C-alpha cells in the first residue's frame, strides 16, 4: 500500500494513500466533529462541520471528503476553523426546530451535542425551520421535517444499505428537503419500515412511532392482563440504551425490569423462535420432498419470513417471488397468536382482557403487528410493539436502577428457549438454528460442525453461502441421501436485492435462504440503541453467540416447552392448529408507491 | 462624451481584438491544429496565457495538461454552455453565430488531450438553439469521420438550474443525477464524466482556442495585459447608453468602460454577474477589469443613481436562495439568512449591527461552502454592503 505523510497540527503522520484527513487525524488523537459523515455510508461532504484549514489554500477543506496528500499541512483548531464551525452549527440550528426539551432524541442528538460543545447561539439567525405537518401516517416511522438538517444520512441509508430509496432529496435551494415519491406520506410509499434511517438520523427528524403511553395505560388498567414478549436481540442491545457497553448481555435484568414495570406475564419471543424452527424446518423438508420425490412444481429456494422489513420489501419489489417465502409467521406474530389462545387457556385468562406487548429491536414489527391478517387468535394478536429504545425510556421513567437490578427468570410457560432461538438475533442465526434441527431430523445426528457452531453462515459479510452434504439419512428421508443442501444468507436489503436478482437471472441456485432486512440482522435493527456502527454491531453479535453457547439447550427441538405445546395443543408441525395460528400469506404491492 | 465620440471609441477598442465574431476558415484551423503535435498544442495554449472565460479563470493549458496526462479508458471534452450567470448572454451569441469556432476548439482540445467524445451542455433556456447546434455538430461529425479523426460532438440539454453550470454539477446532470456539485478532489480532468478524464471549458474559451491556433500565441498575448491576456466578450446591461455583446481587450479600467457604455450617471458597476463584485463610482478609476483587478465571466451591469442597491442586493439574494443546490449548510442556509437578514434590518426587526453578523456569515460561506456558488455569494454581499451600507439599512 502506498503511503503518504502529512502533518496535522504540526504532528507528522503517515497513512495509507486514500485515507481521509478525518481518519488521518484520528490516528494522532485529533477528533474532528462531523454530522453528515457516517461509517456505514458513502461520503457526502455536505454539512461542512468537519472543515479544517490546509496551509496554502484559501478555502477550508472538508476533512471527511478530502484524502490526505503528501506534504499536506493541516490545522484543525484555528480561529478560522472554529468560527466557521460555530457559524455552520448556528445555521443548522436556524433550520432546526430547537424544541429540545420535548424532543424524543434529546440527550442523544448529535446536533445538540455539537451546539453545546461550540456554545453555539441557537437564536443568532432567523428561524427558517420547515414546519410541514409531522408525518405520522406510518405505524412505525415518524418524519418531522422541522428537525431535519439535510445531512442526507437517511437518504444514503435507504438507497445504499437498503436499496429501497423511499427517501430522497428533492427540490433545491431553500426548498431542499428529504421527501418521498411525489411527497406522499410514509405509509403510502415503498418504505419497508426497517428504521435504518432512524438509526442514522443525527437529530429527531426520523423517530419510531412510540406507544409508551398506550402501554402504560394497559399496565395501569387492573382489568387487563398484560403479556410481554422480548425478542432475542433486545437482550444484547438494551444495556447500551441504559449506559452500558455495547455487547452487554442483560437478559435477567431486562426480565426483572419488565416485572418491576408491572407487566403481568414476562415471556420470551425466543420460545416462538424455537417453534418457528420446527415449523419452518418441516416446511423446508416437505418442499424438498415435493420437489424431489413427487416432482411437484414447488417454489424453491424457500426464503425465511421472520423479518417484516424484508417481507414488505419483497411484496413491493419482487411480488413474483412471494411463493418462495416460508408461510411461517414471524416469531413475534406466532407468539401473539398463541398468547391469546394457548397461554390464555392454560392460565385461565380471558383473551378479551389480555393486552399483548412485544419488545423488539425493530420498527417494522410495528407495521407487522398492525397488518389486518394478524388476528388469528380472534383478537389483534400483538397489540403494541415497543422498540428497545422505548423500553429503555420506560425503565428510566420508572426510576429503575437497571445496572444494579438482580437478575430474574422468565415466567412459564412460553418462557423457555434454546441457544438456537437466541441466535435469531443476528444474521445467519435463523439459518444456523434451522440447520441444527433439520439435519438432525433427517439424519438422526447433530450437524457436523464443532460445538454446533456453523461458522460459514456467521459473520458480517453481506451475502454468505454454505453447502452441507447429507449422508446416512434415516429411512423416511431416503430421497435426501447424498444430497447437498445449498443455503445462502443475506442481511441489509441492498444485499437481499442483489441476491434476488441473482436468483431471478438463474445465476444463483439455493434450497434455502435467510434474509434479514437490517445490516447485521436484528442486532442492528431499526429499534436498537443509537448510534450504530460496524464495531457496535459486531459486539452485539458476539454477545448473541456467547448467549447461545452458554445455554444448556442449543437446538430448538430440545426445548421442553416446544415438546409440550405439540403434545397438548398443536399436535404436529404444519398441522391444523399450526395453519390457523402460525402461518400466513402475503400481499403483492406496487413497486413505486 | 458625445454619442459619436463614444461610438468611435467603442469601435476602436473592438478593432483591437475582433477575434470571436469575425468569420474565418475553421476547416483550415482544424487542419493546422492536427498538423501539430498534441503536446505542442498544449504548450501553445499555455503560452498564450488563455484563462477560462467561464468565470473562474483557470489557465486553460494547465487544465489540458492535466487531462492529457491522466489515464482513463476514454476521455471527454465538454463545452459549458449553461450560461446561467445573471447578466451574461455572450455565449448565446457565440453559439448562434460562431459555433464552428467552438466545435473546432473542442476538436483541437480532444486531439490535444486524447479525448474521443465531446458534448455541448446547452442551457435549458437556450433550447431554441438546440436543433441548429446539433445539425452543425452532425455536419462536423461527418467531417471528423471523413478525415479519420476519432472524435464526435453532440448537444446535451440542461434543465434550467444555475448550479448546473458548475462543472461537477454539470457532469452529475449529464449522468442523469441531481445537479449537485461533487467533492473535489478528484477534479474532472482526473475523474469527470463517467469517472473518466474530462475537460470542461466555457464556450468562449473554446472559441478563443481556435483563434489562438489560427493566429498564434503571440498575437493573443499582445492583446490585454500581463495578467489578463487576450480579449474578452462582455455582456453589457443595465443603465447604459449602449448595451449588448462586445468583444474588448482585457485590462481596461471601469472608468474607461463606463465612459463608453454608461449613461453619464453610473453609480455602481456589478462586474461578473450576481456572483461578482460591485464597484462603486469612487473606485472606477483605480479598478482594472481583468484577473489582476475584478475578474469577470463577461457580465457588466451598470446602475445609475435612480437604482436602490438594497433592491439590487435583494434580487441577487433571492436568486441565490433559490439556485443554491441545497446540499451544503453554509450556502443552503446562509443564502436564506442573508436575504431574511437584510429584510429584517430594513423592517427594523434586527439592529443595524446585525449587518456585521451577516457580513461575517458571508465570509464564512466563502471559505466553507462546497462549491463556487456558495463561496462567491460574499462577493456581491460584502461589496454592496460595504459601499452602500446606508441604502441597505434605511
Ligand atoms: C454556480 C456556478 C455556475 C457556473 N456557471 C457557469 C456557466 O454557466 N458557464 C461556464 O462556462 N462556467 C460556469 N461556471 C464555471 C465552471 O465551473 C467551470 O469553471 C468552467 O466551465 C470552466 O471553463 P473555463 O475554464 O473555460 O472557464 C460556474 C461555476 C459555478 C460555481
Ligand atoms: S455551495 Fe451551494 S450550490 Fe455549491 S454545493 Fe453548497 S449548497 Fe450546493
- Residue pLDDT, tens place only, A378-398: 999 999 999 999 999 999 999
Grade residue B2 by pLDDT with cuts at 50, 70 and 90. Answer: confident
Res. A268: pLDDT tops 60: yes
CB-CB: which of B161, B333, B368 is closest to A95?
Answer: B333
Q: Of the candidates B198, B221, B244, which is a domain's last residue?
A: B221
CATH number at residue B216: 3.40.50.11540
Task: Say which CATH topology domain A281-328+427-525+550-582 has.
Answer: Fe-only Hydrogenase (Larger Subunit); Chain L, domain 3 (3.40.950)
CB-based contacts of B240, cutoff 8 Å, min separation 6: B261, B262, B263, B302
CA A15 to chain CA centroid, Å, is 34
**pLDDT at residue number A162:** 98
CB-CB: which of B344, B361, B370 is closest to A87?
Answer: B361
Q: Does the residue B37 lie in any domain?
A: yes
Q: How far apart are CA B209 and CA B186, in angstroms?
A: 25
**pLDDT at residue number A593:** 52
Res. B229: pLDDT tops 70: yes
Residue A106 is among the residues annotated as catalytic for this protein: no
Size of interface A-B (CB pairs under 8 A): 117
Quote the DSSP letter at residue B17.
H
Cα distances (Å, whole numbers) of residue B153 to A561, B129, B138 = 74, 15, 8
SS (H, E, C) B81-100: ECCCCCCCCHHHHHHHHHHH
Residue A42 near chain B (CB below 8 Å): no
Q: Of the candidates B221, B248, B263, which is a domain's last residue?
A: B221
Q: Check CB contact under 8 Å for A126 and B337.
A: yes
Number of domains in chain B: 2
Q: Whole-number mean pLDDT of chain A?
A: 97
The kind and range of the H/E element at A220 are helix A212-220
Cell of residue A397, nine digits: 421513567
Strand duo A512-516 + A51-54: pairing:
unpaired
Residue A373 is among the residues annotated as catalytic for this protein: yes
The shortest C-alpha distance from B213 to chain A (Å) reads 34
What is the whole-number distance in angstroms between the Cα of residue B9 and the centre of ligand 1? Answer: 31
Burial A364-381 (b: 16+ CB within 10 A, else e): bbbbbbbbeebebbebbb
Q: Of the candidates B221, B242, B270, which is a domain's last residue?
A: B221
Name the closest ligand to CA B375. 2
Cis peptide before B185 (omega within 30 of 0): yes
Q: What is the mean pLDDT of residues B340-354?
A: 97
Q: Check CB contact under 8 Å for B333 and A92.
A: yes
Contact B165 CB / ligand 1 (< 6 Å): yes
Task: Say which CATH topology domain A3-77 has.
Answer: Ubiquitin-like (UB roll) (3.10.20)
If we measure between CA atoms, which residue out of B264, B288, B269, B289 comes closest to residue B280? B269
Burial A173-212 (b: 16+ CB within 10 A, else e): bbebbbbbbeebebbebbbbbbbbbbbbbbbbbbbbbbbe
Q: Does the residue B41 lie in any domain?
A: yes
The shortest C-alpha distance from A592 to chain B (Å) reads 18
pLDDT in tens, A309-364: 999 999 999 999 999 999 999 999 999 999 999 999 999 999 999 999 999 999 99
The shortest C-alpha distance from B183 to chain A (Å) reads 7
pLDDT in tens, A403-415: 999 999 999 999 9
Q: What is the mean pLDDT of residues B264-289?
A: 97
Grade residue B160 by pLDDT with cuts at 50, 70 and 90. Answer: confident
Q: What are phi and psi of A357, to 5 degrees?
A: -120, 145
Identify whether residues B137 and B39 lie together within a single domain. yes
Interface probe, candidates B329, B355, B365, chain A, greatest A C-beta count within 10 A: B329
If we measure between CA atoms, which residue out of A195, A185, A186, A211 comes closest to residue A162? A195
**What's the CA angle centered on A398, arms A397 and A404, to 5 degrees?**
110
CATH number at residue B317: 1.20.1440.230
**pLDDT at residue number B220:** 96
Q: How far apart are CA A107 and CA A244, in angstroms?
A: 16
The kind and range of the H/E element at A433 are helix A429-443
Given a contact cutoff of 8 angstroms between Cβ atoms, the answer to whether B316 and B276 are in contact is no
Q: Check CB contact under 8 Å for A91 and B334.
A: yes
Identify whether residues B69 and B208 lie together within a single domain. yes
Residue B366 near chain A (CB below 8 Å): yes
B328 CB neighbours in chain A (<8 A) are 45-48
* Residues recorded for chain A: 593
**pLDDT at residue number A216:** 98
Three-state DSSP at A374 gives: coil
Cα distances (Å, whole numbers) of residue B213 to B19, B209, B246 = 12, 6, 22
Q: Please give the residue of chain B at the shortest CA–CA distance from A94.
A: B333
For every residue of A223-274, DSSP letters joined together read T-EEEEEE-GGGGGTHHHHTTPPTT---HHHHHHHHHHHT-SEEEEHHHHHH
Residue A522 is among the residues annotated as catalytic for this protein: yes
Catalytic residue among A53, A110, A240, A283: A283
**pLDDT at residue number A554:** 98
pLDDT in tens, A100-110: 999 999 999 99
Catalytic residue among A146, A326, A330, A356: A326
Q: Does the residue B266 lie in any domain?
A: no
A174 CB neighbours in chain B (<8 A) are 321-322, 324, 326, 332, 335-336
Q: Whole-number mean pLDDT of chain B?
A: 97
The shortest C-alpha distance from B338 to chain A (Å) reads 9
Minimum CA distance residue for ligand 2 atom 4:
B371
Q: Does the residue B243 lie in any domain?
A: no
What is the whole-number distance in angstroms between the Cα of residue A156 and the centre of ligand 1? Answer: 28
Please list the residues that pair with B233 across neighbouring strands. B247
Same fold for the pair A120-208 and A281-328+427-525+550-582: no
Residue B163 near chain A (CB below 8 Å): yes
Contact B168 CB / ligand 1 (< 6 Å): no
Please list the residues that pair with B117 across neighbouring strands. B76, B152
Identify whether residues B10 and B113 lie together within a single domain. yes
Residue A326 is among the residues annotated as catalytic for this protein: yes
Q: What range does the domain containing B201 cover?
A: 3-221
Domain boundaries A120-208, CATH class: alpha beta
Q: How far apart are CA A274 and CA A421, in angstroms?
A: 5
- Tracing cell 443554491 back to the chain, one arrives at B324
Identify whether residues B49 and B175 lie together within a single domain. yes
Q: The whole model's pTM is what?
A: 0.96
pLDDT in tens, A506-544: 999 999 999 999 999 999 999 999 999 999 999 999 999
Residue B56 near chain A (CB below 8 Å): no
Strand duo B244-249 + B231-238: pairing:
antiparallel
Domain limits, chain A: 3-77, 120-208, 281-328+427-525+550-582
Q: Check CB contact under 8 Å for A88 and B368.
A: yes
Name the closest ligand to CA B364. 2
Given a contact cutoff of 8 angstroms between Cβ atoms, the answer to whether A488 and A510 are in contact is yes
Q: How far apart are CA A425 and CA A274, in angstroms?
A: 12
Q: What is the mean pLDDT of residues A468-474?
A: 95
Name the closest ligand to CA B166. 1
Maximal C-alpha separation, chain B: 69
Q: Check CB contact under 8 Å for B368 and A48.
A: yes
The shortest C-alpha distance from A46 to chain B (Å) reads 4
Q: How far apart are CA B83 and CA A181, in angstroms?
A: 31
**pLDDT at residue number A477:** 93
Quote the DSSP letter at residue A443.
H
Q: What is the mean pLDDT of residues B187-207?
A: 98
A81 CB neighbours in chain B (<8 A) are none
Residue A365 is among the residues annotated as catalytic for this protein: yes
Q: How far apart are CA B65 and CA B55, in angstroms?
A: 20
Contact B378 CB / ligand 2 (< 6 Å): no
Quote the DSSP letter at residue B238.
E
Q: How far apart are CA A591 and CA A117, in angstroms?
A: 44
Strand duo A265-268 + A225-230: pairing:
parallel
Residue B329 near chain A (CB below 8 Å): yes
The shortest C-alpha distance from A547 to chain B (Å) reads 44
pLDDT in tens, B355-375: 999 999 999 999 999 999 999
Q: Check CB contact under 8 Å for B183 and A59.
A: no
Given a contact cutoff of 8 angstroms between Cβ atoms, the answer to whether A195 and A210 are in contact is no
pLDDT in tens, A559-579: 999 999 999 999 999 999 999
Contact B166 CB / ligand 1 (< 6 Å): yes
A176 CB neighbours in chain B (<8 A) are 324-327, 332
Burial A434-448 (b: 16+ CB within 10 A, else e): bbbbbbbbbbeeebe
Given a contact cutoff of 8 angstroms between Cβ atoms, the answer to whether A432 and A304 are in contact is no
Residue A568 is among the residues annotated as catalytic for this protein: no
Q: Check CB contact under 8 Å for B330 and A124.
A: no
CB-CB: which of B323, B333, B344 is closest to A94?
Answer: B333
Quote the DSSP letter at residue B167.
H
**pLDDT at residue number A396:** 98
pLDDT in tens, A74-95: 999 999 999 999 999 999 999 9
Q: Check CB contact under 8 Å for A66 and B185.
A: yes
* Closest ligand 1 atom, residue B51 Cα: 25
Percent of chain A with pLDDT over 90: 99
B360 CB neighbours in chain A (<8 A) are 83, 87
Helices (H), chain B: 3-17, 26-35, 38-48, 60-69, 90-113, 130-146, 167-174, 203-215, 217-221, 254-261, 309-323, 329-346, 354-368, 372-376, 378-387, 389-393
Q: What is the mean pLDDT of residues B251-273?
A: 97
Selected residues 213-272 of chain B with any CB under 8 Å from a CB in chain A = none
Three-state DSSP at B235 gives: strand
**pLDDT at residue number A592:** 65
Res. A56: pLDDT tops 90: yes
Catalytic residue among A208, A279, A280, A440: A280
Interface probe, candidates B158, B178, B368, B376, chain A, greatest A C-beta count within 10 A: B368
Residue A47 is among the residues annotated as catalytic for this protein: no
Other Cβ atoms less than 10 A from the Cβ of A3: the count is: 11
Q: Check CB contact under 8 Å for A46 and B329.
A: yes
What is the whole-number distance in angstroms between the Cα of residue A176 and the centre of ligand 1? Answer: 23
What is the whole-number distance in angstroms between the Cα of residue B330 and the centre of ligand 2? Answer: 8
Cell of residue B359, nine digits: 457580513
Q: What is the C-alpha R_g of chain B?
A: 21
Amino acid at each position: 500500500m502506498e503511503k503518504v505523510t502529512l502533518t496535522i497540527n504540526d504532528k507528522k503522520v503517515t497513512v495509507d494513500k486514500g485515507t481521509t484527513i478525518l481518519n488521518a487525524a484520528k490516528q494522532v488523537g485529533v477528533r474532528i466533529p462531523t454530522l453528515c459523515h457516517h461509517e456505514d455510508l458513502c461520503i457526502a461532504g455536505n454539512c461542512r462541520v468537519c472543515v479544517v484549514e490546509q496551509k496554502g489554500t484559501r478555502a477550508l477543506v472538508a476533512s471527511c471528503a478530502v484524502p490526505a496528500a503528501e506534504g499536506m499541512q493541516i490545522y484543525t483548531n484555528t480561529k478560522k476553523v472554529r468560527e466557521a464551525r460555530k457559524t455552520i452549527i448556528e445555521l443548522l440550528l436556524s433550520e432546526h426546530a430547537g424544541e429540545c426539551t420535548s424532543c424524543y432524541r434529546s440527550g442523544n442528538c448529535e446536533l445538540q451535542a455539537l451546539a453545546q460543545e461550540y456554545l453555539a447561539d441557537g437564536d443568532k439567525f432567523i428561524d427558517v425551520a420547515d414546519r410541514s405537518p409531522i408525518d405520522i401516517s406510518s405505524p412505525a416511522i415518524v418524519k418531522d421535517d422541522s428537525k431535519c438538517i439535510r445531512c442526507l444520512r437517511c437518504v444514503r441509508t435507504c438507497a445504499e444499505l437498503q436499496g429501497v430509496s423511499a427517501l430522497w432529496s428533492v427540490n433545491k435551494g431553500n426548498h431542499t428537503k428529504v421527501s418521498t415519491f411525489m411527497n406522499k406520506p410514509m405509509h403510502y410509499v415503498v418504505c419497508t419500515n426497517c428504521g435504518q434511517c432512524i438509526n442514522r438520523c443525527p437529530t429527531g427528524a426520523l423517530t419510531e412511532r412510540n406507544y409508551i403511553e398506550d402501554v402504560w395505560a394497559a399496565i395501569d388498567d387492573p382489568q387487563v392482563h398484560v403479556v410481554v414478549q422480548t425478542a432475542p436481540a433486545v437482550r444484547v442491545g438494551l444495556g447500551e440504551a441504559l449506559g452500558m457497553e455495547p455487547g452487554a448481555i442483560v437478559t435477567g435484568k431486562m426480565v426483572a425490569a419488565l416485572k418491576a414495570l408491572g407487566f403481568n406475564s414476562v415471556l420470551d419471543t425466543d420460545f416462538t423462535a424455537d417453534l418457528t424452527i420446527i415449523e419452518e424446518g418441516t416446511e423446508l423438508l416437505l418442499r424438498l420432498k415435493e420437489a424431489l420425490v413427487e416432482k411437484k412444481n414447488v417454489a424453491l429456494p424457500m426464503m425465511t419470513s421472520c423479518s417484516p422489513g424484508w417481507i414488505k420489501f419483497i411484496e413491493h419489489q419482487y411480488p413474483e417471488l412471494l411463493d418462495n417465502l416460508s408461510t411461517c409467521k414471524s416469531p413475534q406474530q406466532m407468539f401473539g397468536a398463541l398468547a391469546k389462545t394457548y397461554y390464555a387457556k392454560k392460565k385461565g385468562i380471558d383473551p378479551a382482557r389480555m393486552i399483548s406487548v412485544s419488545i423488539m429491536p425493530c420498527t417494522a414489527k410495528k407495521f407487522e403487528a398492525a397488518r389486518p391478517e394478524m388476528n388469528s387468535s380472534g383478537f389483534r394478536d400483538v397489540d403494541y410493539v415497543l422498540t428497545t429504545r422505548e423500553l429503555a425510556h420506560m425503565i428510566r421513567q420508572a426510576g429503575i436502577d437497571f445496572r444494579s437490578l438482580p437478575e430474574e427468570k422468565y415466567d412459564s410457560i412460553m418462557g423457555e428457549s434454546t441457544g438456537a432461538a437466541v441466535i435469531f438475533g443476528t444474521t445467519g442465526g435463523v439459518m444456523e438454528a434451522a440447520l441444527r434441527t433439520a439435519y438432525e431430523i433427517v439424519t438422526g445426528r447433530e450437524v457436523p460442525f464443532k460445538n454446533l457452531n456453523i461458522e460459514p453462515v456467521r459473520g458480517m459479510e453481506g451475502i454468505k453461502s454454505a453447502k452441507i452434504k447429507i449422508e446416512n439419512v434415516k429411512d423416511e428421508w431416503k430421497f435426501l441421501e447424498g444430497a447437498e443442501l445449498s443455503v445462502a444468507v443475506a442481511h441489509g436489503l441492498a444485499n437481499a436485492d442483489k441476491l434476488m436478482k441473482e436468483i431471478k437471472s438463474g445465476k444463483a441456485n439455493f434450497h434455502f435462504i435467510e434474509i434479514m432486512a437490517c445490516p447485521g440482522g436484528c442486532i442492528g435493527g431499526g429499534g436498537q440503541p443509537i448510534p450504530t456502527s460496524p464495531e457496535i454491531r459486531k459486539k452485539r453479535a458476539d454477545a448473541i453467540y456467547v448467549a447461545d453457547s452458554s445455554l444448556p439447550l442449543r437446538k430448538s427441538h430440545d426445548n421442553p416447552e416446544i415438546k409440550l405445546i405439540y403434545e397438548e395443543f398443536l399436535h404436529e408441525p404444519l398441522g391444523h392448529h399450526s395453519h390457523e395460528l402460525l402461518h400466513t400469506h402475503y400481499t403483492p404491492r406496487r413497486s413505486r408507491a | 462624451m458625445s454619442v459619436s465620440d463614444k461610438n468611435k471609441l467603442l469601435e476602436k477598442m473592438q478593432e483591437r481584438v475582433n477575434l470571436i465574431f469575425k468569420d474565418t476558415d475553421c476547416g483550415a484551423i482544424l487542419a493546422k491544429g492536427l498538423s501539430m503535435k498534441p503536446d505542442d498544442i498544449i504548450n501553445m495554449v499555455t503560452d498564450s496565457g488563455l484563462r477560462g472565460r467561464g468565470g473562474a479563470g483557470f489557465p486553460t493549458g494547465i487544465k489540458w495538461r492535466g487531462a492529457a496526462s491522466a489515464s482513463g479508458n476514454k476521455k471527454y471534452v465538454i463545452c459549458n454552455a449553461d450560461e446561467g450567470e445573471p447578466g451574461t448572454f455572450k455565449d448565446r451569441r457565440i453559439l448562434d453565430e460562431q459555433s464552428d469556432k467552438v466545435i473546432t476548439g473542442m476538436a483541437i482540445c480532444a486531439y490535444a488531450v486524447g479525448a474521443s467524445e465531446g458534448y455541448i451542455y446547452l442551457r435549458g433556456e437556450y433550447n431554441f438553439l438546440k436543433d441548429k447546434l446539433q445539425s452543425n455538430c452532425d455536419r462536423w461529425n461527418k467531417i471528423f469521420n471523413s478525415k479519420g479523426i476519432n472524435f464526435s460532438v453532440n448537444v446535451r440539454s440542461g434543465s434550467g438550474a444555475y448550479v448546473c453550470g458548475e462543472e461537477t454539477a454539470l457532469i452529475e446532470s449529464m449522468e442523469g443525477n441531481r445537479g449537485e456539485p461533487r467533492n473535489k478532489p478528484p477534479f474532472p480532468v482526473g475523474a469527470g464524466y463517467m469517472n473518466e478524464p474530462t475537460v470542461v471549458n466555457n464556450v468562449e474559451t473554446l472559441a478563443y482556442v481556435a483563434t489562438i491556433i489560427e493566429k498564434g500565441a503571440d498575437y493573443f498575448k499582445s492583446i490585454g495585459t500581463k495578467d489578463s491576456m487576450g480579449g474578452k466578450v462582455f455582456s453589457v446591461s443595465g443603465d447604459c447608453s449602449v448595451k449588448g455583446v462586445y468583444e474588448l481587450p482585457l485590462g481596461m479600467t471601469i472608468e474607461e468602460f463606463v465612459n463608453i457604455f454608461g449613461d453619464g450617471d453610473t453609480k455602481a458597476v456589478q462586474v461578473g454577474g450576481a456572483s461578482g463584485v460591485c464597484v462603486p463610482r469612487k473606485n472606477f478609476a483605480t479598478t482594472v477589469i481583468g484577473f489582476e483587478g475584478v475578474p469577470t465571466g463577461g457580465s457588466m451591469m451598470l446602475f445609475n443613481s435612480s437604482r436602490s442597491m438594497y433592491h439590487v442586493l435583494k434580487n441577487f439574494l433571492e436568486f441565490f436562495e433559490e439556485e443554491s443546490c441545497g446540499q451544503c449548510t453554509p450556502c443552503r442556509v446562509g443564502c436564506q439568512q442573508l436575504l431574511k437578514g437584510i429584510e429584517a434590518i430594513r423592517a427594523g426587526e434586527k439592529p443595524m449591527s446585525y449587518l456585521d453578523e451577516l457580513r461575517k456569515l458571508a465570509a464564512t460561506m466563502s471559505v466553507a461552502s462546497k462549491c463556487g456558488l456558495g463561496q462567491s455569494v460574499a462577493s456581491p454581499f460584502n461589496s454592496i454592503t460595504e459601499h452602500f451600507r446606508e441604502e441597505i439599512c434605511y
